[in-house]
Amino acid sequence: MELSRRGDYAVRAMLDVATRPADRMTVTKEIALRQDIPPIFLTKIVSSLSQAGLLRTYRGVAGGVALGKPADQISLLQIIEAVEGPIYINRCLIRRGECDRDRACPAHELWVQAQGELLGLLANKSLADLARRAQELQQAPMADFAA
Amino acid sequence: MELSRRGDYAVRAMLDVATRPADRMTVTKEIALRQDIPPIFLTKIVSSLSQAGLLRTYRGVAGGVALGKPADQISLLQIIEAVEGPIYINRCLIRRGECDRDRACPAHELWVQAQGELLGLLANKSLADLARRAQELQQAPMADFAA
DNA sequence: CATAAAAGGATAAATTATATCCTATTTGCC
DNA sequence: GGCAAATAGGATATAATTTATCCTTTTATG
C-alpha cells in the first residue's frame, strides 16, 4: 500500500523541472544530483515520462528535458501512472470478475470508493499547484515551524 | 500502490467470520475454502488478526475462531494494519526527515493529505457496515444489474 | 489416548522493485 | 569530419518483499 520509488522519484523529478527557469533545459544528471535519485535509474523514469508526453526530451550536447505541456495541465495522477502503470488499490479492481465472480462483494464496493477518492485527489492536483506551493515554502521557510 | 494479498485475505476472512452465526465457531480451513485462500497462509493471517485482538482463537477439537470484539468496533483500517503493519502512502511519511531533510517539500504535503483521506475512509468503515451490506446484497442479488 | 484444532519457527518459491551496464543514436561545436 | 555530451533502450544483475508451505509443538475435546 505504498507508492514505489519510481513514483516518488517521478514526482520529485517533475517538480524539479517545473521549478527551474523554463527557458533553459534541465539535464537528468543534475536532477538526479539535486533530488538524490540514482542517475541511471532516473533516465528510465524520464523515458517513461517522455513517452507519456509529460516531458519533452532533447538529445545531444545542448540536450536535456523540459515539460511536455504546461504545468497546470499535468496532474499528479498522470505522473504516477506514467511510471507505475494504472493504479489499483486492490487486485479485484483490475478486471471485472476477479473477486465478485458470482455474488456481489461488499468489500469490492469499499475498494471502488477508496480508489475513487484517491484517484480523484491525485487527478485534481496539478504540477503547477505543487510548484506554486514550493515557491511559497521557499519564500517563507520558517512557516513549517508553525505547522 | 496496491493492497497486498495479506490485506485482501484478511478483510475477506473477517467478513466471512462476521457473516456466520455468532454462536458457532468457525474453522480457518473452512474459511479458506469458502474464500479461496491458501489454507496454511490463512493460519498466519488469522494469527496476526488474533494478536491484534480482532479475532479470538480457540485450540483443540472444538476450536476455531470468532470475532475478538463486536463487528461495529472493528474498522477496516484495523484489519489491514493488523496484517500489513501501519499504512504509509509514501516512504517520506514513515519517519520525519525522510524527504524534507532541510527545506519543506510540497509533495510531502500532498502525501499527508492523501494518506489522511485514505486512512479516514478505512477507519470509518466498520466490519459491521460490510456485514450489513453483504446481507443486503444477498437478499437482493439482482441489484448489481442496476449498477 | 486419539483426534482436531491453532501456534510458531524455518524455509522455499515466486514475484516485483531497484539498479546498473553496455551499445546505439542524436546533436552541437570546434 | 570528429569529439563530446546528452538521451534511448535492451539485457541483465541484485535485492527486497511477498507469498506460500513444511514441520513440530501446544491445547483442548471426547
For the segment A36-87, what is each residue's pLDDT rounded down to a tens digit? 999 999 999 999 999 999 999 999 999 999 999 999 999 999 999 999 999 9
Q: Does B123 touch chain A (CB under 8 A)?
A: no
| Assigned domain for B41 exists | yes
Tell me which of A98 and B133 has the higher pLDDT: B133
- The pLDDT tens digits of the residues spanning A106-128 come to 888 899 999 999 999 999 999 99
Predicted confidence (pLDDT) at residue A141 exceeds the cutoff of 70: no
pLDDT in the model for residue A92: 78
Q: Name the residue among B140, B113, B129 with its Cα closest to residue A129.
A: B113
CB spacing of A3 vs B91 below 8 angstroms: yes
Q: pTM (2 decimals)?
A: 0.89
Cell of A31: 536532477
Chain B positions touching A92 (Cβ under 8 A) are 8
For residue B94, being part of any structural domain is answered with no
Burial class (CB in 10 A: 0-12, 13-18, 19+), A143: exposed
Domain count, chain A: 1
In a domain, B72, yes or no: yes
B106 shares contact with chain A (CB less than 8 Å): yes
CATH number at A19 reads: 1.10.10.10
pLDDT tens for chain B, 147 residues long, are: 899 999 999 999 999 999 998 878 899 999 999 999 999 999 999 999 999 999 999 999 999 999 999 999 999 999 999 999 999 998 777 666 666 554 578 888 899 999 999 999 999 999 999 999 998 888 765 555 544
Element (H, E) at B24: none
Q: In what helix (H) or strand (E) does residue B87 lie, and over which residues does it extend?
A: none
DSSP state of B57: E
Among A64, A75, A24, A69, which Cα is nearest to A42's?
A64
Asked whether residue B31 is assigned to any structural domain, the reply reads yes
Residue B19 lies in a domain: yes
Domain-located, residue B147: no
**How many contacts (CB atoms, under 8 Å) link A and B?**
107
Residue nearest to nucleotide C2 (CA to C1'): B61
Residue B59: other Cβ atoms inside 10 A: 7
How much is the pLDDT for A147?
43
pLDDT at A31: 96
pLDDT reported for residue B147: 44
Rounded to an integer, what is the distance from CA B139 to the centroid of its chain? 24
Query: How many angstroms separate the CA atoms of B3 and B11, rounded?
Result: 11
Angle between the N-to-C axes of helices B106-124 and A106-124, in degrees from 0 to 180, rounded to the nearest 10: 160
* pLDDT at residue A18 in the model: 96
In a domain, B23, yes or no: yes
pLDDT of residue B100: 57
Whether B43 is covered by a domain: the verdict is: yes
Judged by average pLDDT, the poorest of A5-14, A90-99, A128-137 is A90-99
Contacts 24+ apart (CB under 8 A), B117-121: B117/A117, B117/A118, B117/A121, B118/A114, B118/A117, B118/A118, B118/B87, B118/B89, B119/B77, B119/B87, B121/A113, B121/A114, B121/A117
Residue A141 has which C-alpha cell? 521557510
Q: Which domain holds residue A103?
A: 5-146
Query: Distance (Å, rounded) from C-alpha B73 to C-alpha B76?
Result: 10
Q: Is B108 on the interface with A (CB under 8 A)?
A: no
